[in-house]
Amino acid sequence: MRDLGVGFRHLLEGQRWMARHGRQYGFGLLPGLITLVLYAAALIALALWGEDAVTWATPFADHWSSPWQGLFRGFLTAVLFALGLLLAVLTFTALTLLVGQPFYENLSEQVDADVSPDGTAPRSQLPLWRELWISARDSLRVLVRAALWGVLLFALGFLPLVGQTVVPVIGFFVTGFFLTEELAAVALQRRGVELRARLALLRSRKTLVWGFGAPLGLAFLVPFVAVFLMPGAVAGATLLTRELLGEERADDRESDVARTASQSRTAPQ
């Protein structure tokens, strides 16, 4: 339970860090706004022509009697839109990070340098095109994993009682895990940590990851919120990365010094 609180604290710390750095925050909104416009256009198109697509895909239902034809195709249209919305939530972070890769990597470096005891940050030695390729490739691999979970949870959702209670909770934590992986990948990729090692690292402290990603995933379901939280989420994921790797922070050292001084003052003479 402690790790849940620590993960949530990193999420809040990231937002506070961005609040203290207004200029970086303004630039950080641009990739999210671009991605939001693209997804909004896709979802509007799906809402307008989704029924036509379902009708085209189900010619066998053309001769069904009313109301079964309408109910069947209406249900499939709703499912299609729900899957499109789920896919948008799962891929929004990956696409935004890809669009804003240079900015977010620079932002993550600034956070690292700000909290590091020696004021330095790990830097990638790869050219930008190579980083973009690795990021896109790894995001696709993560998306496939998330999609498999999504299909499984969607199927389990039809189970009586369990599908309406347990399955949504599991989906909540699954979304939080993959969302955290995408965000932490910015800092971990700079450190040369490959995808398989990243996933193993995150699984080793799942409650810490859930504490960070689950509340963020819930917030991302609210329209437009993801755009405004995205820069702070990258900053918070950088702090989370340092926690996962056991890297020391300047404020940790200051706390140790203050604690030692306090103990020396209260010690009996």
Q: Name the residue with higher pLDDT: 91 or 191.
A: 191
Pairwise CA distance, residues 228 & 191, whole Å: 27
The pLDDT value recorded for residue 211 is 93
Enter the tokens of residue 105: 């990597």
Q: What percent of the chain is predicted at pLDDT more than 70? A: 91
The per-residue DSSP string of 164-219 comes to: HHHHHHHHHHHHHHHHHHHHHHHHHHHTT--HHHHHHHHHHTHHHHHHHHHHHHHH
Q: Are 6 and 213 in contact (CB under 8 A)?
A: no
> Whole-number mean pLDDT of the chain?
82
pLDDT band at 266 (very low <50, low <70, confident <90, very high): low
Spatial distance between the Cα atoms of 136 and 141, rounded to a whole number of angstroms: 9
Q: Is the pLDDT of residue 265 over 60?
A: no
Element (H, E) at 254: helix 250-266
Contacts of 179 (CB under 8 A, 6+ apart): 93, 213, 216, 217, 220
Over the stretch 8-58, which tens digit does the pLDDT of each residue have?
A: 999 999 999 999 988 778 878 888 888 888 888 888 888 888 888 888 888
Q: What is the pLDDT of residues 159-170, one digit of tens each?
A: 777 777 788 888
Please check the confidence at residue 256 and state whether its pLDDT lies above 50: no
User: Hunting for tokens 């989370």 — which residue is that?
Assistant: 240
Q: Kindly report whether the peptide bond that precedes residue 223 is cis, defined as omega within 30 degrees of 0.
A: no
Which pTM was predicted? 0.77
Domain ranges of the chain: 2-246
